[in-house]
Amino acid sequence: MTNFIKKKVEIEDDAASMTFRPGQFKREPFSLQKKNIFLLGMRASGKTTVGTALAEVLKCPCVDTDAMVVAEAGQSINAIVAERGWDAFRALEEAALVKAAALPGKVVSTGGGIVLSQANRDLMYRSGVSFYLAADAGLLIARMLRDPNVAQRPALTPLALHDEVAAVMSEREALYMAGMDHMLQAHRSVEELVDDVLVALGLKEWDYSEKERVLDRY
Residue closest to 51 by CA, chosen among 63, 41, 59: 63
- The whole-number pLDDT of residue 150 equals 73
pTM: 0.84
Q: Which residues are annotated as a binding site for Mg(2+)?
A: 48
Using the predicted structure, report yes or no on whether residue 40 has a pLDDT greater than 90: yes
Expressed in angstroms, the distance from the first to the final Cα of the chain is 17
Q: Which CATH architecture is the domain 30-216 placed in?
A: 3-Layer(aba) Sandwich (3.40)
Q: Which residues are annotated as a binding site for ATP?
A: 44-49, 153, 188
Q: Which residues are annotated as a binding site?
A: 44-49, 66, 90, 112, 153, 172, 188
Q: Which residues are annotated as a binding site for substrate?
A: 66, 90, 112, 172
Mean pLDDT for the chain overall = 87
What is the per-residue pLDDT across 68-88, written as a single tens digit (0 to 9) for each? 999 999 999 999 999 999 999
Q: What pairs with residue 18 in β-bridges?
A: 11
Distance CA 30, CA 37 (A): 10
**Least-confidence region, from 95-99, 192-196, 201-205:** 201-205
Distance CA 95, CA 72 (A): 10
Residues in CB range of 87: below 8 A, 6 or more apart? none
Contact (CB, 8 A) for 40 and 133 = yes
What is the per-residue pLDDT across 161-201, written as a single tens digit (0 to 9) for each? 999 999 999 999 999 999 999 999 999 999 999 999 999 99
pLDDT higher at 44 or 19: 44
For the chain, the domains span 30-216
